[in-house]
Structure 1
Amino acid sequence: MDRDTRDLIDQLCTQAGMIMEDCSTAFLTTRRIDDEEIPRLLQDLAGEAAKVRDLVNAAIALSK
């Protein structure tokens, strides 16, 4: 694997990790929000999870 590819994989993984870190706070706050806000929060988290999935899939594709 060349250096540029490795750097890109590292950047993709870093971005995925940053998203996951941000989401961890939201996951831990469900006890403190109103019932009406839960569906929106879960939709937001699902969207962020999809971004992480896409970043990881990109890193996988580059690693082959």
Structure 2
Amino acid sequence: MTPGGDQILAHHAALLAIPAIVPALVVVGVILYIARKDRREEREEREIIERAFEPEDDKENP
């Protein structure tokens, strides 16, 4: 407990940092979204290439 009349105040550095948190989280979210999208597209492209070079055994052996 604090003695009567004392108030606990936040440090001014913490108050200045609060508005920077939201833009930082937005930037991190955008970077994660782009990385995830890029990996998904790369995986799909790799699957297409693998399917293109797969031997088609079904057509050769009736």
Structure with more helix by fraction: 1
Task: Name the TM-score class by shorter chain.
Answer: 0.3 to 0.5
Task: Tell me which structure has the larger Cα radius of gyration.
Answer: 2
